[in-house]
Structure 1
Amino acid sequence: MGKKGADTRYRLLEGARSLIESRGYFGTGLNQILEVSGAPRGSLYFHFPGGKDQLIAEAIEQAGAEITAVIETTAAPDARAYLEAMADLLGERLEQSDWSKGCPVAGVALDAASANDSVQQACSAAYQRWESALRERLAGYGHPEPDRLALAALALIEGGLLLARTHRDRAPLRRLAATFETLV
């Protein structure tokens, strides 16, 4: 694939990522993706012969990798401060997007994971990578139960993002982050 083709594919993925994060699976149509990306209609099926489902699954994979990198590179002196920093970083990302971009997977997982195998698998893989990355970081901080804490932290952060987005306020995330002191 040439540079022009790679650029078109990238723009389609970025457009899909942006839309699914703010609108979910069912709120994102192919015409919207084409409009946001500026890509010609024919290029969508050229790059994604599986159509919307393939495009969304790959967009989730890409967004999941981005959040995994954040999990793996966030620095803090200890496990509690690390989890608080994660909640703060993701809350800041949400607020900077004018409350439209919380978790890049949650909306799609809620919309389509029960009815679409490829999308469900992409959502599941993203969540598994995040939990694994959290577990590794927590083990590195010497936490005695990194498996338990990684899952609890992921659930708290995901729930906190949902509440913060719903209320358009980071207060729920801040209150949940304070819970990390009890867990750690």
Structure 2
Amino acid sequence: MAQRSDTKQKMVQAAKQLIRERGYNATAFADVLKLSDSPRGSVYFHFPGGKTQLAMEAAEAHAHEQVAIIDRAAEQAASAVDLIETYLNLAREGMVGSNYARGCGIAPLITEGAAQESAAVGETARRAFSEMIDRLAFHLVAFRVDRSAARVLADAVIAGVEGAMVTSRALQSPTPFDAVRVALASHAASVSPRDSSRKRG
């Protein structure tokens, strides 16, 4: 049973990587099998819903990964401004490290029509982005940002990172991440109390 689970997990991770690099439509099961070194018979055993199911699970895995990154950034940060800057820096490092080849694991499901063809795909994408925004807002509130301001800022950060990924890949430059970081850190400072250390207890 563990072996089956491992195979499925490898396929989900491979799909996530390929969707981030190629998009949804250009990601084929054959490529997922090759990258994950999985047997052909595992496709419909683990994913009876076909490519749609695989893409949905890859999007969920991407969201969980991003939530973990947000948590790690929050642990490293001393304030709301630090949190925003750290998260943007991690996103920047990821893009540069991929040689400008890596995009979002969720957005292609929306932009390439999968969500329009399946309500379940659209709901998965909505939930995945919401998880990221909710987690970031949670940490901003912990840094004493007002709840409504934290939600707006979290929305702006996730949207800013999404846009920076697209323009950074097009320009082959990290400058979009730098611009977004400066603008959003400035806004975070404006909505943070003077003592913006994390709440205790």
TM-score by length of 2: 0.85
Tell whether 2:171 aligns with 1:167. Answer: yes
Partner SS, residue 28 of structure 1: coil
2:118 alignment partner in structure 1: 116
Q: Which consecutive unaligned segments of at least 5 residues does structure 2 have?
A: 189-201
Q: Is the 8 A contact 1:164 1:173 kept in 2?
A: yes
- Which amino acid letter does the alignment assign opposite residue 168 of structure 1? Q
Aligned match for 1:141, one of 140, 143, 152: 143
Out of 123-132 and 77-86, give the one that drifted further: 77-86
Task: Assess if the C-alpha contact under 8 Å between 1:109 and 1:123 holds in 2.
Answer: yes
Q: Which runs of 4+ in 1 moved over 6 A?
A: none
Deviation (angstroms), 1:47: 0.8
Question: Letter of the aligned partner of 1:79 in structure 2?
Answer: A
- Seen in structure 2, the aligned counterparts of structure 1 residues 89 and 113 have a Cα distance that, compared at 3 Å, is same
User: Which segment is superposed worse, 22-31 or 117-126?
Assistant: 117-126
> What is the correspondence of 1:27-46 to structure 2 with a 5 Å cutoff?
27-46=26-45
Cα deviation 1:28-78 (Å, max 9, x = unaligned): 111211222222221110011111111111111111101111112212111
Q: 8 Å contact 1:93–1:102 — kept in the other structure? A: no
| Number of aligned residue pairs | 183
1:153 aligns to what?
157
Identical-residue share of aligned pairs (%):
30
Q: Deviations over 1:8-32 (max 9, x none)?
A: 2122112111111111110111121
- Tell whether the 8 Å contact from 1:99 to 1:168 is kept in structure 2 after alignment: yes
Q: Which has the larger radius of gyration?
A: 2
C-alpha contact (below 8 Å) 1:20/1:108 kept by paired residues: no
SS in 1 for 2:117: coil
Q: Which residue of 1 aligns with 2:106?
A: 105
**TM-score (norm. length: structure 1):** 0.93
Query: Are the equivalent residues in 2 in contact too, given 1:23–1:107 (CA < 8 A)?
Result: no
Which residue pairs with 1:95 in the alignment? 96
Please report how far the alpha carbon of residue 158 of structure 1 lies from its aligned counterpart in structure 2 after TM superposition.
1.4
- Unaligned 5+ segments in structure 1 are none
Say whether the 8 Å CA contact 2:84–2:185 is kept in structure 1: no
Q: Does 1:64 align with 2:63?
A: yes
The CA RMSD measured in Å over matched residues stands at 1.4
Q: CA deviation at 1:182?
A: 3.1
Q: Distance in 2 between matches of 1:7 and 1:157?
A: 31
Partner secondary structure for residue 113 of structure 1: helix
